Structure 1
């Protein structure tokens, strides 16, 4: 009896201890989970927003495809391309007019990306209305790299939605999406006329006139008040009703309020309480220039992610429907390369390496996040470049040597389409690798500030810190993907003449020299003229890959501006076109028999 009682007591104590430890564990998760889940939720909202907009957009185009003139517009490839280019060019010009005004600095860097975006949208509209596109939507979503892309993004979005319970005010974030200014900068200019003061009374006794001005201090980022007469801003019609000191603005004065300066706003929190006193006899014209941002500023970046997803889907649709032969070659190449053992090994190494870097103590006295970011993106780029060069050797060199290319070219496929299809297929497989490993990196990047804080017994960071780390990593991934595209273009061009091993060595040399060219030229400036001449000559012949290298910015903790991605994209396009011309020269007279 006593033994049974003792055993029962021990069991109860064990259950109680388990319950307490479980409660502590849940409590600990509840402490740090909002800081991790909220950034993931914010990005997931952007992904879902882009998917919803794309679904609605192409749903409307599918309905328009039932109209015979529109549904058969792309049946003739020449007619479809001409209409797409005209429509896309018009859209591109409108985008440049809106988002790249000539008065702004570096606006010229946006012209080419916006024009290309317009052309993609033009092709997407014309071929989205094609009746065959309506019939082939399930095939589009289920072939090639599309399932891998949708699955990866879907898993990320699912993780974000599952963490909604721990998200800090998810409803406010969704409501902030409506406050994002997609086609404007959020600036509204409102002039108000205030009657002059009564000549029979002094300036201090002039009437405070109520004004109708729509604003919200919580979303106001900047306020500029200009007046041609001396005025006073108050929150009541008389001194007895004032709850704050009135603000005086002299004639010709320009008052500027910025939220980031943490100044006291000159306007009352309730717009209905705004009253203005004109201290002069003539009517006053008071101009309010109000710039607003969403109440949750991160909603703007979530919308930007949605726009990227929409254009990604549009690019895939336009590519598949407008260039079916090149798409078929690219699809075959991508599926073949992604099924290779090397691809799976590199993918596993990338995921494992990113996970290890996230918990590895770099002992940098507070800079572990930067080291984690730098090491991870560099690892992804190196693995992707290795896969790109290997794919160029196996899918181009070996097919030429094995006479497989002759069989492909005996069909109605030109050599130009053959090279474009091979390059597109290689980059599709590389894009999937970047996306999968990059997704793991972003999930861990959101947790890294929390992990470091827990390891050093510091206070848990706000969720905005994890979000900023994620958003500062995405541009770096984009730049390193562009650098991989450059090396892949060189590898495909060389693969028309060189075997795999020679191609690999040549690309390695070009990669090293390309990243050292700019520092060498800069260091030789003002020194030996011969050294400077040789450096400039190498810079012309070898691509300047240092443009895509932002390691110094990451080491200093500076975020890469998005405008820099546009400038780098311009260089990539020009370089890719030049390499493609060289590749055609090398491949045009290559004997395949």
Structure 2
């Protein structure tokens, strides 16, 4: 593992580059805000330094240090070139009319041959295609027969025909009529892994903007949220869950799963489950302490005697708990990604398999991100349910009910689809539960993610919408239950 340290460090370094770029963008935005409104800039610094984002800021600072220290031994020049080429790659389609019997008709294009994944040429006349003038009959790249497209991709046995940067191709129309020619090509940077760098930077910037935007747009809810999240993170339980989860994730690297080369899949599945369960347990415990105990201890009555409504109280508590849960996901999620990168190299050595390249480490590491997103959605749903229950019941019933909902939300679809589900009563109960309780099984595709199956963005979008709808319903229920609760 330590002999091939660069293999598993490179994906982590790329992730650090993305977070560093996001931090630089935030620094620029802060500088502009300071020039325009110094009071607002000072307030923004205070909100971040005294809020729940500080653990994430420390993590970003650590990753920025890694990005700088590891840069000399990393493919910095290749990554920089690939980042600069990102706006220039993609799919391009150009159509042109070539006059009859025209020789070396110039068609402007713009691509680098080595970045080309595939291209297609179609014409209703016979057309010869070259990369230089005067080579139509001596060195044609492609001969397009009328109405028969010419296709090339990286798996084709024929040569690409282009070399280096290409700004113009030349078309020779052999027909007696004008030719309608369409040239379609797709290019990709030589290091496609750098596409995640801007996404990471945008995530860092988006997280900070959402946090500050909530503070400025909904100050009443935000103030309660900040106090709740700070109180939650300051509790020993947060430190216990975070350190315990970190120790477990690191231990998973060295656990012999005896799966004959599939240990990486087991680590991803075990790691996702560990992060999600710890976050859910922390959310339920925090909701009970922050809401149920405050109601029983009359602290909520004191707080509501101030110009704070019951709606602001409940919504602020939920947002605050969700912020602390997000911190757990960010900290443990980043560590999980790092352990996966290490595990790829470690497992290859333990299994006497060929040494993998850093691209494989990166692919396995990034593939876990959709699982973390879906797990956070599940934690958000159960947090909303826990908040609603905490308005009426103490911790122990809250834990029992949330645990039952967690089990039913995962098992009901499987029960209905099994042979037992053919029973009319079981089928009715399954449909009833699926309507009332959240369909958590839709948020649990860990087996597919562990197996390396890509998760479409559309699926994440629909599950995100489902999460928002169910959280909204749960919070409406919480407001109804708390509206007439006697706090005295």
TMscore range, shorter length: over 0.9
After superposition, residues 137-536 of structure 1 pair within 5 angstroms as 137-167=44-74, 169-181=75-87, 186-197=90-101, 207-209=103-105, 211-238=107-134, 242=138, 246-259=141-154, 264-269=159-164, 271=166, 274-523=169-418, 527-536=422-431
Could you say if the C-alpha distance between residues 513 and 262 of structure 1 is closer, same or farther in structure 2, counting changes exceeding 3 Å?
farther
Kept in 2: contact 1:33–1:166 (CA 8 A): no
Q: Residues of 1 paired with 2:207 and 2:41: CA distance?
A: 18
Deviation of 1:58 (Å): 4.9
Spell out, residue by residue over 1:374-432, the C-alpha distance to the aligned partner (whole angstroms, 9 max, x if none).
11110111111111111111110010000000000000111111111111111111111
> Per-residue deviation at 1:214?
2.2
- For 1:288 and 1:219, how far apart are their aligned partners in 2? 16
> Could you give the per-residue CA deviations for residues 192-233 of structure 1, whole angstroms, max 9, x where no partner exists?
4444328xxxxxxxx455554322122223322222211122
Q: Which residue of 2 aligns with 1:105?
A: none
User: What is the distance in 1 between the residues matched to 2:479 and 2:158?
Assistant: 62
Shift, 1:59, TM fit? 4.0
Question: Whose radius of gyration is greater, 1 or 2?
Answer: 1
CA distance in 2, matches of 1:431, 1:536: 32
Q: Give the direction of change, closer, same or farther, for the CA distance of 1:139–1:555 in structure 2 (3 Å limit).
A: closer
How far apart, CA to CA, are the structure 1 residues paired with 2:54 and 2:240?
Answer: 20
Q: After superposing the two structures, state which structure 1 stretch, 559-568 or 459-468, moved more.
A: 559-568
Normalised to the residue count of structure 1, the TM-score between the two structures is 0.77
Query: Could you list the runs of 5+ residues in structure 1 that have no partner in the other structure?
Result: 1-27, 67-130, 199-206
Alpha-carbon distance, 1:548 to partner: 1.0
Shift in alpha-carbon separation, 1:319–1:532, aligned structure 2, 3 A: same
TM-superposed deviation, 1:455: 1.9
Task: Report the alpha carbon displacement of residue 524 of structure 1 after superposing the two structures with TM.
Answer: 6.1
Name the CA shift for 1:212/1:481 in 2 (closer, same or farther; >3 Å): closer
Distance 1:314 1:306 in 2: 12
CA contact (8 A) 1:227 1:285 kept: yes
Instruction: Measure, in 2, the Cα distance between the counterparts of 1:557 and 1:261.
Output: 26
Task: Tell me how many residue pairs correspond in the alignment.
Answer: 488
Question: Whole-Å Cα distance in 1 between the matches of residues 136 and 94 of structure 2?
Answer: 28
Deviation at 1:292, TM superposition (A): 2.5
- Deviation string for 1:289-325 (max 9, x for gaps)? 2333223211212212222222111101101111222
CA contact (8 A) 2:110 2:168 kept: no
- CA RMSD, 1 decimal: 2.5
Partner deviation per Cα, 1:250-274 (whole Å, 9 max, x = no partner): 1222333333667632545553684
Change (3 A) 1:270 1:58: closer
Distance 1:542 1:134, change over 3 A: same
Question: What are the superposed Cα offsets for residues 230-289 of structure 1, whole Å, 9 maximum, x if unpaired?
Answer: 1122345456995x5642111222333333667632545553684332211333332222
Structure 2: runs of 5+ lacking an equivalent = none
- CA shift at 1:165, angstroms? 2.5
Distance 1:518 1:262, change over 3 A: farther
Check 1:261–1:429 CA distance in 2 against 1; reply closer, same or farther (3 A cut).
Answer: farther
